[in-house]
Amino acid sequence: MKIVVLLSAGLHPVSGQSILPKVEAQALRLALALGEARGRHAGPTAFPASDALGHGLPHLVHVEIPAEADPVPALVATLEADQPDLILAGRRGQGGDETGLAPYAVASRLGMALVSDAIAVERGEADGTVIVHQALPKGARRRLVVRLPAVVTVHPDAPAPRAFAYGVARRGIVETRLAPPGLPAAERLEERPYRRRPKLMRSAPACGSASERLAAAMGATSSGVANVMVNPTPEEAARAILAHLRAIGVLPPKAA
């Protein structure tokens, strides 16, 4: 199975230093568990994607494009020649627009399937398939059987990346290629420095008094006061609790 890992030039969430995004190092670990993998990065320099060599990647292909160019056509141009069976990518490439569209665009141009938010990938029982475990909210999982070739994006809940080893990083190979000429520039949007804004008060009434909004911000709801049972028998209390839990949908409905 030919496996390619897409790597991006991320920024550290606190310091702003260029780093390999953690989720891509996690994708690399999933890829190496399946077989031999190669890296692919499109950007002005190989660093910080070349950090992936230290996490166990033997070979990185760096496609040199200007900083403001769209990486998708450059990636597609080099991937078309390789015809990989499986492409792993982070949930969202970092350092650029961070729209999360690049894996979808690559999959669509190469005619590959796409599965999002994987936390585990293994070979399927039938030939030409993989089994992908997908992370869902609230700790649930989904087991998918996917036909190859496929692009799989990796969720941050995937197993932690392999430790960085300096010797392994030195032995890895970085192959730099020039991008094919005539690549279109990415669409530029109006940009300004990021400014943090107050969060929306989730349960606050849209047009309540100041005291109502304060109560909502503290989590007290006006409906909460109504339903109080004082010294019921334990059986009554149990029935009321089970009925309430069923009404809000956390407990499955009574069987028959």
**CA–CA separation, 167 and 59 (whole Å):** 14
Q: Which of 182, 197, 210, 211 binds other proteins (CB under 8 A)?
A: 197
Pick 66 or 175: Cβ nearer other proteins: 66
- Reference 158, options 122, 124, 118; nearest CA is 118
**Span interacting with other proteins, options 22-30, 38-46, 170-178, 224-232, rule CB under 8 A:** 224-232
Provide the mask over 134-173, with x wherever binding to other proteins is found by CB under 8 A and - wherever it is not.
xxxxxxxxxxxxxx--x----x------------------
Query: Is the Cβ–Cβ distance between 254 and 246 less than 8 Å?
Result: yes
C-alpha distances (whole Å) from 7 to each of 136, 154, 218, 232 are 24, 12, 43, 61
Pick 170 or 188: Cβ nearer other proteins: 188
198 binds other proteins per the rule CB under 8 A: no
227 binds other proteins per the rule CB under 8 A: yes
**CA–CA separation, 72 and 183 (whole Å):** 10
237 binds other proteins per the rule CB under 8 A: yes
242 binds other proteins per the rule CB under 8 A: yes
DSSP states along 144-161: EEEESSEEEEE-TTSPPP
246 binds other proteins per the rule CB under 8 A: no
What is the C-alpha end-to-end distance of the chain, expressed in Å? 49
CA 37 to chain centre: 19
For residue 245, give both structure tokens: 């839990």
Cβ neighbours for 231, distance < 8 A, ≥ 6 positions apart: none
Binders in 81-140 for other proteins, by CB under 8 A = 94-101, 104-105, 107-108, 113-117, 129, 133-140
33 binds other proteins per the rule CB under 8 A: no
Q: How far is the CB of 125 from other proteins (least distance, A)?
A: 11
205 binds other proteins per the rule CB under 8 A: yes
Q: How far is the CB of 151 from other proteins (least distance, A)?
A: 10
Query: Is the Cβ–Cβ distance between 201 and 213 less than 8 Å?
Result: yes
30 binds other proteins per the rule CB under 8 A: no
